[in-house]
Amino acid sequence: MIREKNATAPDDDESDAVARPRPVLKGRPKTHELPIPWVRLRSAASGHQLYKRMLGSVDPRARPGDLVAVYDRADAPYGVALYNPRSLIALRLLTRGIGAFDADAFFMDRIGTAAQFRRQVLGLDAVSDAYRLVHDNGDGLPGLVIDRYGDCVALEFYSLGMYKQAARIERAVKALYPNARFFHRASPHTQSMEGFDLKPNMGTGTRVKENGVTFLVDPSSGYKTGFFTDQRDNRMAIVPFAKGRKVLDVCSYTGGFGLYAKKLGGAEEVTAVELDPEAAELLKKNANANQVRIDAVCADAFPYLRQAGQNQRRYGLVILDPYKLIANREGYALGRQKYIDLNRLGMTVLEPGGILVTCSCSGMLGWDEFLQFVRTAAGSAGRRVQIFRKSGAGADHPFAADHPEGEYLKILWCRVL
């Protein structure tokens, strides 16, 4: 009896071929000709970040922080990346495809394109001499932020690879801003995770103007790079709500919202609450530079708001702009409660019909979750809340389509009844 082959099943030879693992390539990729080291992938991802588990074989010459040519498991060119085996993100892709990659030309082109967007497309030079020149993945330069403050240019590094490219980056910026003075920044957490030690580079700060408001900025000190350009548009947007009102600017840092409310908005009075004593002192200097009076209070926002509520203080406009309350998954539960408590307390000091502008800069917090926090706070405060606008960072903070976490800043504009 002849056994008939099942038409829907592979024959024995085909079945063996399917089960047989693909051979693992070793050694230098055949098409690799660039002078930089190479890395071969075990697996790939759709985004720009490749993790350690995705790596296959690595050129013995490759050192942490190097530029490397990346090939897939079949040795097809994949891209050029910054390599760091000690980081969770082992490869940060700079390009798709390899070609005749030239590092100097690459940084000149990417930074030049970023500057052209800010200066010619957005026209920011007409509004301010302070803006974000490069925003990480949004400008195709993962692990790097560049903020311009007049002649001061702050480079903030989030990766060892970008830190090692500092000289190239500065040459590219100098070609566009010949008078640039450079300041290097990196958080202790980044330095520890990425494996580098950033020496402090101190220098004198500068004055910048934003929509006619003067700010003193020192990129060698303070939080991040010394000033928050991402709130520029939102600072301007509060101006119509400030006229004749009592304004409370909570977590005010160096006074951005409060100064706009007083100088441009004609607020009756402005109270700015800031925990950092150095920032609070700079806030006072900024008020003097703008010839306006602001009541600067160095205090923790939570007890201050509780005391203000108990004392029956009421405001027509309250801005809540806290630091990142949810920095990682482990801190989610505590951060969630802080967001709810802060918003509840902010609502309790608002007069009926007052405006609440509440912000979150926690990148891992989604819009829906933030909305839920505000709803919960409203219920706890016993207030009815109308949300009439949502906004985010200024256009000089673009985010990449394949990196939605770049949309970190979320702001809800509320009328509290």
Q: Where are the alpha helices (DSSP H) in 124-231?
A: 160-164, 166-176, 188-194
17 confidence band (pLDDT: 50, 70, 90): very low
Mean pLDDT (whole number) for 8-21: 45
Do residues 219 and 147 touch, judged by C-beta distance below 8 A?
Answer: yes
Segments of the chain assigned to CATH 3.30.750.80: 103-194
* Per-residue model confidence (pLDDT) at position 20: 54
Do residues 9 and 3 touch, judged by C-beta distance below 8 A?
Answer: no
For residue 374 the two structure tokens come to 């505000």
Alpha-carbon separation of residue 139 from 46, 105, 107, 108, 180 (angstroms): 18, 16, 11, 13, 20
Higher pLDDT, 313 or 7: 313
Mean pLDDT (whole number) for 185-213: 90
- Closest by CA to 361, choosing from 330, 327, 394, 319, is 327
Residue 204, burial from CB neighbour count under 10 angstroms (0-12, 13-18, 19+): exposed
Higher pLDDT, 27 or 57: 57
Mean pLDDT (whole number) for 197-218: 89
Alpha-carbon span 371 to 391, nearest angstrom: 13
26 has pLDDT over 80: no
The overall average pLDDT reported for the chain is: 92
Bridge pairing between strands 49-51 and 38-41: unpaired
CATH of 228-416, one of 3.40.50.150, 3.90.245.10, 3.65.10.10, 3.40.50.620: 3.40.50.150
201 confidence band (pLDDT: 50, 70, 90): confident
Per residue in 111-129, pLDDT (tens digit) is 999 999 999 999 999 999 9
* Per-residue model confidence (pLDDT) at position 401: 87
Mean pLDDT (whole number) for 226-246: 96
For residue 343 the two structure tokens come to 């918003």
Higher pLDDT, 21 or 35: 35
323 has pLDDT over 60: yes
Segments of the chain assigned to CATH 3.40.50.150: 228-416
Mean pLDDT (whole number) for 304-321: 97
Question: What share of the chain has pLDDT > 70, as a percent?
Answer: 94
Mean pLDDT (whole number) for 225-249: 96
46 confidence band (pLDDT: 50, 70, 90): confident
Segments of the chain assigned to CATH 2.30.130.10: 22-96
109 has pLDDT over 50: yes
403 has pLDDT over 70: yes
108 has pLDDT over 90: yes
Give the count of alpha carbons within 13 A of 369, CB side only. 15
What is the signed CA dihedral for 385, 388, 390, 393, rounded to 10 degrees?
-110
* Per-residue model confidence (pLDDT) at position 87: 92
Q: What is the DSSP string of 334-361?
A: HHHHHHHHHHHHHHHTEEEEEEEEEEE-
409 has pLDDT over 50: yes
Per residue in 82-104, pLDDT (tens digit) is 999 999 899 999 999 998 999 99
Q: Which numeric CATH code is attached to 103-194? A: 3.30.750.80
Per residue in 251-299, pLDDT (tens digit) is 999 999 999 999 999 999 999 999 999 999 999 999 999 999 999 999 9
The CATH superfamily label for domain 22-96 reads PUA domain (2.30.130.10)
Higher pLDDT, 36 or 21: 36
pTM, full prediction: 0.89
* Per-residue model confidence (pLDDT) at position 130: 96
Mean pLDDT (whole number) for 351-378: 95
Per residue in 143-177, pLDDT (tens digit) is 999 999 999 999 999 999 999 999 999 999 999 99
Instruction: Residue 23: count other Cβ atoms within 10 Å of its Cβ.
Output: 7
